[in-house]
Structure 1
Amino acid sequence: MYAGYIQGVTSNLALSPSLEDEQRLSVGVPRAKLGTQGLEVSKQGLGCLGLTGAYNLPLDDDAGAAVVAHAFRRGVTFFDTSDYYGPLSNEILLGKALKQLPREQVQLATKFGLRREDAGGAWGVCGRPEYVRACCEASLRRLGLDYIDLYYQHRVDTTVPIEDTVGELKKLVEEGKIRYIGLSEASPDTIRRAHAVHPISAVQMEWSLWSRDIEPEIVPLCRELGIGIVAYSPIGRGFFGGRGVKEEVPAVSNLLGYPRFLAENLEKNKQIFLKTESLAKKHQCSSAQLALAWVLHQGDDVVPIPGTTKIKNLEANIDALKVKFTGEELKGIASQIRQEDVAGDRPHTSFTHTTWSTWKYADTPRK
């Protein structure tokens, strides 16, 4: 079972690892509990979106599998995908990669709900029960798995009562096709009503130094209900690693559709990066590690899922677990890197006209 796994890992390391390599690889990733239903994952996960192309060119299957295998060897066991990524191809790649790993040690999360609405490529959402079931069964086939550990509604369908959507997810849990239920970009009312139908184990939200809008309402609600928080884009889609500031955004990247990466906004946001870089020097880490470590410090129930296509960046992300802050240092970082200083909206421009692009508008009709 491990043959392909070991081969994939050693292809990215020296054939005879140095003592430094062995010491680095021996540092484990802590565990975290998401929700109160028994789901336990690595404290840091791997967001797999970029493996099939999003911010950069896609990797081939072997290269993508090598990233997944290396993450697992370092102690990352929580892998996040979606039928939207690719679309579809991300689940296929991840399914191939997971065949080289021990299934019982992996926690696989995928999502449903986003779909193409017309031939022109416009995206919409669907939360109807029959669609939920069809998506789940299709994802299982692409992944080559018997069950999905954590199944999210990717975006909330504001035309379907959340009770109907979660009611079908509950049936899938009872049938053993999924083990835990999650929501992404859901409003407080939607989260509370969903949780009343079946316990929600995790809510996935964008959370980083420059995306902190969930802190006043979503975070306290999740803690009240005992729901874990999975933070996507914790490094600001690479911004805190210098993307758009120290290195150009590739022409093929869909980052050019995010307002914060538009030229006029990047010029203003550069000041935020420079402040982060200065703080990172003080803490003897990179700016990306400082941003990621800040999210890691937000609580035992918070699991960030940074994505990358490069082994060296994966190593740096995992090493962010070594960066430690005191409570006062956390407050100091947050006071210097302020969301109100960020130029540009958070959602992609292709979604800004929708009611489901962000949690603030993701309410559903009353049952």
Structure 2
Amino acid sequence: MSFVYVHVPFCKTICSYCDFVRCGYHQGLADKWLQAIQKEIKEKLRNEKITTLYLGGGTPTSLTIAQMEVLLECLGEYSADVEEYTVEANVESLDDSMLELLAGYGVNRISLGVQSIDATLIKRMNRHHDKQMVIDTIQRIHHHGIHNISCDLIYGLPAQTPALWQEDLRVLCEQDIQHISLYALTIEEHSAFGREKVAVMEEDEEADFYEAAITYLQSQGFEQYEISNFARHEHYSKHNQAYWHYEDFIGIGCGASGKQKHARYDNTRNLETYLRQGPSPSYIALTSKDERFEMIMMGLRLTQGISLSKFSKRFGCELLSCYENAVQKNIRLGLLRMENGFIKATDKGLHVLNSVLLDFMEG
């Protein structure tokens, strides 16, 4: 059982907030990249039974139809038993031809980078869609038989008001979508926002946006199952759940990361190096202490929390014993609680999860 992430580094335009591994699209460069990634796919997936497959970026749908078909055809040799096949897309890059191709190769989930439907905010992010395009694209995805749709939104944007945020949420909740991911804006040093020295929203104000979103989404039938993720009718992201449950996963492509056999690896972030030498991964060995903490760090993001029996079976020690001081302190502060064999963050704890994790880091 394998969970596979494939990174497509190309974008037609670069968003103002983005500092992921990405570069402007050039057809010749993308053709060379296709040759390199096909080799990596065949080497890494030869003996794998894939459960989830996730194409992220960058913008996978910035590839031409012909290029995307080459990539999907290569992955098709290994994707017969995939339960969830996700492709990330921007609103403006997802036309009927692309959707027909994706559906034909078994893609059954689209993660749509909406971020906002407000014209001013969209322009500020260097995006190129509008409200009607979002609505039309969601309908188009359904028309092509892909009914599991997730949309991303960002809060904390420059000049974003509570009213604009509420309108973003309202418009998306009125659509036939099953999943919404909310991300607080972070100012990355090498992004356009970073170079412009854009100010970050105050923590209290950011918390107000987050809490308002939780309340509204729950009123519209969305269940919060992870700190940033909400689903209708249990349409949870199976692929991302592998990360949160601290499963091993395979990362393929320039800038991709993976975790296998007590080690984490990062493929080269340099596209020229990737084209010349392949993934050239750097490895970090994980000690048992590293893995215990990382499982806690990921698992407490989930509203269901961490199974104490699963933790004990995996590491041969009791979580409540290994981290007694951290657990007792945060239960006392009302940030953690025990329930039905799980330890989980309270609503208050989810809001300040980083400070909770600091206590476990010291444990």
TM-score tier by shorter-chain length is 0.3 to 0.5
Higher strand share: 2
Larger Rg: 2
TM-score, normalised with respect to structure 1: 0.40
TM-score, normalised with respect to structure 2: 0.41
- Using CA pairs under 8 Å that are at least 6 residues apart, name the structure with larger relative contact order, 1 or 2: 1
